[in-house]
């Protein structure tokens, strides 16, 4: 994902569990210093990392299975009195988890459906 974003001209860096500790720290330093505006990461960053209060948006490509993990992820935004947004990409396979999250939060979250077939594997190669 980070590579795709960089190829499209977005300053992104990745952070994942298969990286060595020095590479993780380097990626985090680039994000914190403003050299990179986008941090693409796996659950390795959902807890325990010192992510600065400059996060405007958290995008959940995959929904976590537990509500507390979701809250920790989206809690990276809207810190220090600032506004923030959390976006969850939900497929038909995620609906049950998404509904559990809504119940945990005690409110229905807004939905923005995508229309049309966005898959590149629709058989018209």
The whole-number average pLDDT for the span 24-30 is 89
Output the pLDDT for position 47: 63
Domains defined for the chain, CATH in brackets: 1-46 (no CATH), 53-108 (3.40.50.300)
30-78 tens-digit pLDDT: 988 888 888 888 777 666 676 766 677 888 888 887 888 888 777 777 6
125 has pLDDT over 60:
no
pTM above 0.75, yes or no: no
Instruction: Provide the percentage of residues in the chain whose pLDDT is more than 90.
Output: 10
CA distance 71 to 50: 16
Output the pLDDT for position 52: 65
For residue 14, what are the CA distances in angstroms to 41, 73, 104? 6, 16, 30
Number of other residues whose CB lies within 10 A of the CB of residue 1: 12
Question: Which of the 8 DSSP states describes residue 98?
Answer: H
Q: What's the mean per-residue pLDDT of the chain?
A: 80
The whole-number average pLDDT for the span 14-30 is 88
Q: Tokens in use for 39? A: 């941090």
83 has pLDDT over 80:
no
């Amino acid at each position: 994902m980070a590579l795709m974003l960089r190829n499209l001209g977005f300053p992104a860096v990745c952070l994942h569990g298969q990286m060595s500790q020095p590479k993780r720290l380097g990626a985090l330093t680039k994000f914190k210093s403003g050299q990179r505006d986008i941090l693409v990461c796996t659950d390795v960053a959902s807890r325990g990392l010192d992510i600065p209060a400059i996060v405007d948006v958290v995008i959940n490509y995959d929904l976590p299975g537990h509500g507390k993990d979701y809250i920790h992820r989206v809690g990276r935004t809207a810190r220090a009195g600032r506004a923030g947004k959390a976006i969850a990409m939900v497929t038909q396979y995620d609906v049950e988890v998404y509904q559990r999250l809504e119940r945990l939060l005690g409110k229905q979250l807004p939905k923005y459906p995508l229309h049309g077939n966005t898959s590149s594997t629709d058989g018209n190669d």
